[in-house]
Amino acid sequence: MKKNIIIKNAAQVVTCSGFAAKHGKEMSKLHVIENGTVIIEDGIIKAVGKSDDVLKNIDESKYNVIDATEKAVLPGFVDSHTHFVFGGYRAEEFGWRLRGDSYMDIMKRGGGIINSVEGTRNASKEELIKLGKKRLDSMLSFGVTTVEGKSGYGLDLDTEIKQLEVMEELDKMHPLDIVKTYLGAHAVPKEYKGREDEFIDEIIEKHLPEIVERNLAEFCDIFCEQNVFSIQQSRRLLSKAKEMGMKLKIHADEIVQLGGAELAAEVGCVSADHLLQASDKGIEDMAEKGVVSTILPCTAFSLKEEFARARYMIDKNCAVALATDLNPGSCFTESIPLVFALATLYMNMTIEEAITALTINGAAAVGRADQIGSIDVGKKGDIVILEFPSYHFIPYHIGVSTVEKVVKDGILVFDKE
């Protein structure tokens, strides 16, 4: 299939130009080109600029040509925190939450993450691939071209590996690029209740060596939370994973202010995620150490919790990313339009900051800002074309996708028309 494509005459080409995370005030700089054109050859961006300049001496017959007149063009979105490979659903828990039960109350009575473990352990690899593909198709329709996927619904080595192998298969067969994260320390298995340190020992001694040897995941993550894994346990696991060559993420300060943000800065996490209860010091430490602050507004919305302090983080010079946190329990949605709506209407982020958070900063949160997340020469040809002439329509058309076409690696892979 030809990977040479020209997207020309766009009302706006929103480049989000850069090769690293944007911090603080830099998040407002989108670098918009009016009447712009993008040329992609062999799946890589070869030129971007004003149409008259870029199209000089170009033989358009050698390319697939998309006329983007009256359309806005952006980098493909990067959903940098999801749990999209799972078996079984937890619809009844949503009803419990509506009745007033807290997330931690549901966990204590055997719900929550543990409830998804049984469904995922019992699901075959073929079933998980089928379910995962359906979810990836939906993400693609929202303009996502790269997604991070976590294991964590096995809590035993065989099922964790099964989840990661499913992602590996889907990465080969689906247009979306999948960044794999090992999250074996997502919850405490029933058989290890009260013996959490022993479970961390098992992960360090048995899980990590096999995952690293087989190159099944780029990142190691842990749910650092009261009544789950402590700061000390999280430090021990993340430090060992780093020693073994893995990049680090952490579920930090979601429900209780435990010090997860500070730990993320201390051990050198690429990103710290959730952060609803992150302290002022933790936020300042992340900004100083360059840890991407990945915030998940749909989860707070679903749990009826206060949102993370996005405005404070940006004002303190953090690099903020946005992601869906698609999962079967606390946040069963892959809706990028909902993320944009919540970020702009309820988290005091500007439209420009939200776009940066879902493009170049999302790319930085998965360690790929040098390859994706912006429309820059040399990067992958991952492009979203809106049905409207301005990026302002993304949150303005509240909760509805404005994505008309998606180009992945220089190939048109989604077309609403």
Q: Annotated binding residue at 207?
A: no
Per-residue pLDDT reduced to its tens digit, 287-339: 999 999 999 999 999 999 999 999 999 999 999 999 999 999 889 999 999 99
Give yes or no for a contact between 261 and 283, defined as CB atoms under 8 angstroms apart: yes
pLDDT score at 97: 84
Q: With 80 as the cut, is the pLDDT of residue 114 above it?
A: no
C-alpha distances in angstroms, 199 versus 44, 156, 238?
44, 10, 14
Sketch the domain layout of the chain as residue ranges.
Answer: 5-75+373-415, 78-365
% of the chain residues with pLDDT over 70 = 99
Query: Minimal CA–CA distance to 120: which of 94, 156, 93, 146?
Result: 156
User: Is 329 labelled a binding residue?
Assistant: yes
> Is 43 assigned a ligand-binding role in the annotation?
no
The DSSP result for 340-364, as a single string, is HHHHHHHS---HHHHHHHTTHHHHH
Which of the residue ranges 1-15, 140-154, 285-299 would you say has the lowest mean pLDDT? 1-15
235 is in an annotated binding site: no
Segment 73-78 shows an average pLDDT of 99
Report helix, strand or coil for 404: strand
User: Is 31 annotated as belonging to a binding site?
Assistant: no
251 appears as a binding residue in the annotation: yes
Q: For 78-365, which CATH superfamily applies?
A: Metal-dependent hydrolases (3.20.20.140)
Q: For 365-410, where are the E strands, in sequence order?
A: 383-386, 403-408
Q: What is the DSSP code (8-state) at residue 279?
A: -
pLDDT digits (tens, 9 = 90+) for 210-266: 999 999 999 999 999 999 999 999 999 999 999 999 999 999 999 999 999 999 999
Residue 1 reports pLDDT greater than 60: no
The per-residue b/e assignment along 350-362, b for 16 or more CB within 10 angstroms, e otherwise, is ebbbbbbbbbbbb
Residue 2: predicted pLDDT: 59
Judge whether 392 is annotated as a binding position. Answer: no
Lowest mean pLDDT among 102-116, 133-147, 164-178, 344-358: 102-116
49 bridge partner residues: 37
Fold assignment, 5-75+373-415: Urease, subunit C; domain 1 (2.30.40)
325 labeled part of a ligand binding site = yes
Nearest to 221 by CA among 187, 182, 257: 182
